Structure 1
Amino acid sequence: MQDVERAIFDLRRGLPVVVDAHDGRRLVAPIEGLSPELLTDLFNQAEDAPRLLLTNDRLRYVNQRDHASAASLAIADTDTREQIIAWACAPEAALPATRPLHELTAAERAGLDLAHRSLLVPAAVSIAPDARCAPQLEACVAERQLLAVAAADVARHRAEAPGLLRRVSEADVPLEHARYSRFVIFREPDGMREHVAILIGASEAWDDPTPVRLHSACLTGDLFGSLRCDCGPQLRASVRTIAERGGGVLLYLAQEGRGIGLANKMRAYQMQDDGLDTVDADQVLGFDKDERDYAVAREMLAQLDVSHIELLTNNPAKLDALDREPIRVAGRSSLYGNLTTQNRRYLTTKAERAGHWLDALLASPDTPPD
C-alpha cells in the first residue's frame, strides 16, 4: 500500500508512474506535469499513439451529453502540449470530432484514479511502452527512479483507506465561543490530509443525540473572511451553536473546495468570474459537483464513540452519507452563514443544482459587505 501512497506524491511532483494490470502495463503522466520534453519522451517510448485520459464529468461538459464512464482520446504527434491541456481542462475547448473515444484499460482507470486522488486536474497522458524500451523501463523501476504499482492495489487502497484513519494527537484549545474544547487530529493513510475533531464541552454532558457538524475546510472563507461563500460565518456559528446546546462535535474536514483542493478551487473561481456557475466550473476541470467522501467522518465519529447524532446541516448529501452503520442520524437542524451580494449566486446554485436547504436564507435580503 505504501507504493500507492508514493505514487500519489510522485504524480503531484509531475512524475509519471507505471501501472500494471491484467490487461497490460501503462505509463501514466499527469497533465499538470506535462512539459514539452516529457511529451516528446512519451511519444518516443510509446508502442502506439499516446492517449489523453479524461473523466466522465469532463467528457459530459465537453460533449454536452451523458458519459457513463471515463474514456481516452488518441494524441497525434502534431498535437501541441497546449492543445492537449486545453482538451483536458479549458472551458472553451472542443475535442477533435474525427477521433473516437476509447474505453480505458484497467491500468488507465487506476492511473486516472491516482491523478484524481492527488488533487491535481484529474486528467493524464498514458502510453503502452514499446517493447524496445522495456529493458530501460525495467531498470528505472528496479532502481526506483520510476514507481510501478498494481491496479488492484490502487483499488484496494481506496476501499480500505477510511478504516486506516489514525488518531495521532490531541490537546485542549479554548475557543472564543467555546472555552472548553479539545482538538483531536486524525491522519489519512497516504499522509496527504489531516482532519480535526473539535470536542466542545464535557462529553458526559452532551445531549443524546449528540449535536454534530461536518465542516469542510475553506481557507478563503474560514481564515480570510471571503465574501464569495458563507463558510467562515457557518464555521463560527457551528462552534457557538454547539456550545450553547451543551456541547458536541465539530468535524473539520480537509476537503477544500468540496474535495477538489485549493489549486483547483482557484481555477474554478476564475471560471466563475468568466460566467460559469460553481457546478459547471468544477465539471470543466473534470470533477463531479461534489467530490467529498464522508466515510472519513463516520470513521472519526466511530473512533470517538459517538454513534447517535443530530446533524447540523443544510446539505442532504451529508445526511444520507452519515446515516449509515455505525452512525445513526436522529434528526437535522439548519445552520446558516451570511448572505452577501457576492455569494448569492453561489448559494443559489447550491440550492438549485445540489438540493441544499437554503430557501429561508435566500429569501432574506442581501447583507451588505463590511
Structure 2
Amino acid sequence: MHQVERAIFDLRRGLPVLLVDGESRVLVQAIEGAAETAVARLAREAGTTPALVLSPHRLALLGEVGAVATARLPLPEGGGRQRLAELAFGPRPEALPGRAELARWRRALQPAERADRAALALMRRALLIPSALVARVDDSRRAAVEALVAEGTLLAVAADKAECCPAGAPGMLKRVSEARIPLVDAFDCRFVLFREPDGLREHVAVVIGEPEAGEAPVPLRLHSACLTGDLFGSLRCDCGEQLRKAVTGIEALGGGVLLYLAQEGRGIGLANKLRAYTLQDSGLDTLDADRTLGFDEDERHYGVAVDMLASLGIRRVQLLTNNPRKVAALSAGGIEVVSRQALYGSLNDHNRRYLSAKAERAGHLLDAVFNGHGEGPGRS
C-alpha cells in the first residue's frame, strides 16, 4: 500500500509512475496537469508509442456505444496536450477537427490489460480525470527504466495493488483526534477525526449526545461533503439543507452520529465537480455530466463508514437517508439498518433538474419532495 500512496501523489504532481505486472512494465502519466512534452517524454523513456486509456463512459461519448470496459486508444498524430485533453475530458470531442480520423482511431481500440485498469484506478483515487497516457516499456529500454527506479527518479508500483486502490484500505482507517464542539442546533457534540492510510482523505464523525453503542439502533446520517452546499448554501443541490436537518433531527431523536465523509461530488472531488457543473450548464443532467468526464454515476465507497462505526462501537442504526444504496452498503458491511428515515431538502428552480435525476435515474426516494410533502422528515 505504501507505494500506491506515493504513486497517487506523484501523479497529482504531474510525474509519471511505472506499473509492474509480471514481466510487463508500463509507464503511466495523468492527462490532467501533464506538460506539453509528456507524450514525447514517455515515448523516449519507454521506447514505444504511448496510447490513451479511457473509461467505458468516455469511450461511449467517443462513439463506442455500449462500451463496458476500459480500452486503449492510439494517439492522434501530432496531437498536442490540448487535443489529448479534449479527447480525455473535453465536453464535445466529436466536434474536434478530423472526425473521420477519430473514427479510424476508434476502430483501432485495443482491450485494456491490468496495467491499463490500474492506471485509471490510480487516477480515480487521486481525484484526477479517469484517463491516462500509457506506454509499454520496450525490452531495449527496460534496463534504463529500472535504473531510474533504482536511483529513486521513478516510482514502481505493482499493478494488482494499484487496481484495487479506489476503495481505500478497509480496516486501516486511523482514529486521529477528537474534541467537544457545541453546535447551534446540538450543544452536546463531539467531533472525532479519522484519516485514511494514503493521507489524502479525512472523515469526521459528529457524535451528538451520548448514543448508546448497545442493542438500541443509533440514529445515523452518512453525509458526503459538499463545499458549495454545506458551506456556501448553493441552490444547485439540497446538501446543505440536509446537513442541517440531519443535525437537528438526530438531536431531536435523543442523540446519534453524523458521519461527514470526504466524498465531494459523489466521490469525484471538487475540481471535477466544478467541471461537471459547467457541463450541466450546457444541458446535461448531473449523472450524464459525470459520465462525460469518464466517471461512473456514483464513485463513492462506504467501507470507510463501516470502519468508523466499528471504531465507535455501533452495529445497529436508524439511517437518515433517501438513498437505498447507503442502506445496502451498510448492510453489506455488517451494520444492521433497523429502519430508514427520509431526510428532505427544499425544491427550487436551481436544483429541480438535479433532484429529478437523482430520483428518476439513481433511485433516490424523493416522491414526497416532488409531491409537495417534503418539508419534514418521514419514516419508512
Q: Which residue of 1 aligns with 2:364?
A: 356
Q: Which residue of 1 aligns with 2:150?
A: 142
Q: Is the 8 A contact 1:168 1:186 kept in 2?
A: yes
Residue 365 of structure 1, CA deviation: 9.6
Residue 160 of structure 1, CA deviation: 6.7
- Where do 1:281-300 residues align within 5 Å? 281-300=289-308
1:194 to 202, 210, 213: 202
Identity %: 52
Query: Could you say what the CA RMSD is over the residues aligned between the two structures, in angstroms?
Result: 2.0
Structure 2 vs 1, CA of residues 38 and 63 (structure 1 numbering), >3 Å: closer, same or farther? Answer: same
- Where do 1:109-120 residues align within 5 Å? 109-120=117-128
**How far, CA to CA, are the matches of 2:374 and 2:310 in structure 1?**
40
Q: Which residue of 1 aligns with 2:267?
A: 259
**How far, CA to CA, are the matches of 2:150 and 2:213 in structure 1?**
57
- 2:1 is the counterpart of 1:4: no
**How far, CA to CA, are the matches of 2:161 and 2:287 in structure 1?**
31
Residue 97 of structure 1 aligns to a residue whose secondary structure is helix
**How far, CA to CA, are the matches of 1:339 and 1:323 in structure 2?**
30
Structure 2 vs 1, CA of residues 343 and 157 (structure 1 numbering), >3 Å: closer, same or farther? Answer: closer
Residue 243 of structure 1, CA deviation: 0.1
TM (norm. structure 2) is 0.92
Q: Is the 8 A contact 1:282 1:289 kept in 2?
A: yes
Structure 2 vs 1, CA of residues 72 and 132 (structure 1 numbering), >3 Å: closer, same or farther? Answer: same
Residue 133 of structure 1, CA deviation: 3.4
TM (norm. structure 1) is 0.94
**How far, CA to CA, are the matches of 1:98 and 1:283 in structure 2?**
23
Q: Which residue of 1 aligns with 2:254?
A: 246
Residue 22 of structure 1, CA deviation: 1.9
- 2:90 is the counterpart of 1:90: yes
Residue 271 of structure 1, CA deviation: 0.6
Q: Provide Cα deviations, 1:118-150, integer angstroms capped at 9, x if missing partner.
A: 000011000012344334322221121111111
**How far, CA to CA, are the matches of 1:205 and 1:72 in structure 2?**
50
Unmatched 5+ residue regions in structure 2?
A: 376-380
Residue 207 of structure 1, CA deviation: 8.5
Q: Is the 8 A contact 1:302 1:326 kept in 2?
A: no
Pairs aligned (count) = 367
Q: Is the 8 A contact 1:19 1:108 kept in 2?
A: no
Q: Is the 8 A contact 1:49 1:76 kept in 2?
A: no
Residue 210 of structure 1, CA deviation: 1.0
**How far, CA to CA, are the matches of 1:355 and 1:258 in structure 2?**
15
Q: Is the 8 A contact 1:23 1:107 kept in 2?
A: no
Residue 206 of structure 1, CA deviation: 8.8
Q: Is the 8 A contact 1:206 1:247 kept in 2?
A: no
Q: Provide Cα deviations, 1:153-186, integer angstroms capped at 9, x if missing partner.
A: 2246556702111111111111111100101111
Unmatched 5+ residue regions in structure 1?
A: none
**How far, CA to CA, are the matches of 1:103 and 1:118 in structure 2?**
24
Q: Which residue of 2 aligns with 1:26?
A: 26
- 2:233 is the counterpart of 1:233: no
**How far, CA to CA, are the matches of 1:266 and 1:273 in structure 2?**
11
Q: Aligned letter for 1:59? A: L
Q: Which residue of 1 aligns with 2:328?
A: 320
- 2:314 is the counterpart of 1:306: yes
Residue 280 of structure 1 aligns to a residue whose secondary structure is helix
